[in-house]
Amino acid sequence: MKDWRARISIDPNVCHGAPCIKGTRIMIWVIVDCLANEDSVEDILAAYPSLTREDVQAALAYAAEMTRERVLPVEVSGTS
């Protein structure tokens, strides 16, 4: 997705400032969590009828961008 910024908003007065799909209270983490739990895009769209396929893609693009911003500690296996 080239311009996920057009579909995502962060407003301190909406969902305590959590990133959401614009015009909704559907937080990005909810969409990413659904995908991580193996829900299909179709499942997500059925559960949240106000979303579009492009919204789901924007949520993934936003999540990808956020992984570039900070490093979370992850256990490395095979080290002594």
pLDDT by residue (tens digit) across 47-70? 999 999 999 999 999 999 888 866
CA of residue 23 relative to chain centroid, distance: 15
Give the span between the Cα atoms of 53 and 45, in whole angstroms: 7
CA neighbours closer than 13 Å in the CB half-sphere of residue 25: 5
Q: Domain residue spans in the chain?
A: 4-66
- What tens digit of pLDDT does each residue of 2-46 get? 789 999 999 999 999 999 999 999 999 999 999 999 999 999 999
Helix (H, G, I), strand (E, B) or coil at 49: coil
CATH of domain 4-66: 1.10.10.10
